[in-house]
Amino acid sequence: MKYLVYTLLASIFIFTSCSKEKSKKWVILDLNVISATTGLPVESTVWVEYYYHAQTGSSATPQEHTETIPLGTTVDGKLYAEVDVSETPEKLYIKVSPNDVDIYPDYPNLKPIWNQELSRTETNNITAEITPNYYRYKPYLHNTSCYNETDSLWLYANHEDNFENITPQIFTGCTDGYVDEIMLRNTFMKGGETYFKLRTKKNGVVNSITTMKILEHEIINEFTLEY
């Protein structure tokens, strides 16, 4: 009798597991998030997002709806989840965003979001390779011929040698040292090429010079800008 009970319980467990694997109601995810440049784990927030059409209120035409299911955060870049999706979405996506807000609190929109369509009939074994969409740099500014505390520097940075719509950072006085870390989006950059324009005013005389630096991902790029 005990053997029969054990056999029955084992059969129920196997049936349940197999049903969850094959059922379109369940989405099974085995995720690994790494840096595309270093291969190291990237702690990230993960969620499922899907779209479906359904009638709303008195409307005869089905309306598109978006649903989001939070899955939490990775541990050592990894996350396993079994997601119950009640509706029948047309497409289902996994979305991943790095947890870097504690490092870059003033730049929430710079976090890259990685996404991929999910299968509803088999386990999704996914490696998400995150590529940062920003460069970090910390220039050392050296006023080589300071006149007095009224000396001014307008520092522009861009992915090309064009600063028409770029808002500069402004420094005054006999600057000689590192400034606070700066971040720059790399959406249009080619190989990290970054152009800097230094517009200066000393003793009423205005000058302007432009220089180019090659920046790298995932480090604080330090270099000297003299004016």
Half-sphere exposure of 60 (CA within 13 A, CB side): 0
- Asked if residue 84 lies in contact with residue 67, where contact means CB atoms within 8 angstroms, the answer is no
Cα–Cα distance, 26 to 119 (Å, whole number): 10
Cα–Cα distance, 213 to 211 (Å, whole number): 7
Segment 39-50 mean pLDDT:
91
In this predicted model, what pLDDT tens digit does every residue of 119-163 receive, in sequence order? 888 899 999 988 766 788 899 999 999 999 999 999 999 888 999
User: Can you give the pLDDT at residue 103?
Assistant: 52
Q: Distance between terminal CA atoms of the chain?
A: 90
What is 134-226's CATH topology?
Immunoglobulin-like (2.60.40)
| Domain ranges across the chain | 23-130, 134-226
- What are the CA-CA distances from residue 182 to residues 47, 140, 146 (Å)? 30, 12, 24
Above 80 in pLDDT, residue 1? no
Cα–Cα distance, 37 to 217 (Å, whole number): 8
With cut-offs at 50, 70 and 90, classify the pLDDT of residue 111. Answer: low
Length of the chain in terms of residues written: 227
Closest CA to 44 of 118, 119, 102, 117: 102
Segment 59-81 mean pLDDT:
87
Residue 211 gets the label, from left (phi > 0), alpha (psi -120 to 50) or beta, of beta
Instruction: Please tell me whether the overall predicted TM-score, pTM, comes out greater than 0.75 for this model.
Output: no
Domain pair 23-130 / 134-226, same fold = yes
The two most distant CA atoms of the chain are separated, in Å, by 100
Above 70 in pLDDT, residue 219? yes
In this predicted model, what pLDDT tens digit does every residue of 9-23 receive, in sequence order? 444 444 444 444 445
Judged by average pLDDT, the poorest of 63-77, 93-107, 108-122 is 93-107
Rounded (10°) CA dihedral 7, 9, 13, 18: 50
CATH pick for 23-130 out of 1.10.760, 3.10.290, 3.40.50, 2.60.40: 2.60.40
With cut-offs at 50, 70 and 90, classify the pLDDT of residue 108. Answer: low
User: Can you give the pLDDT at residue 99?
Assistant: 84
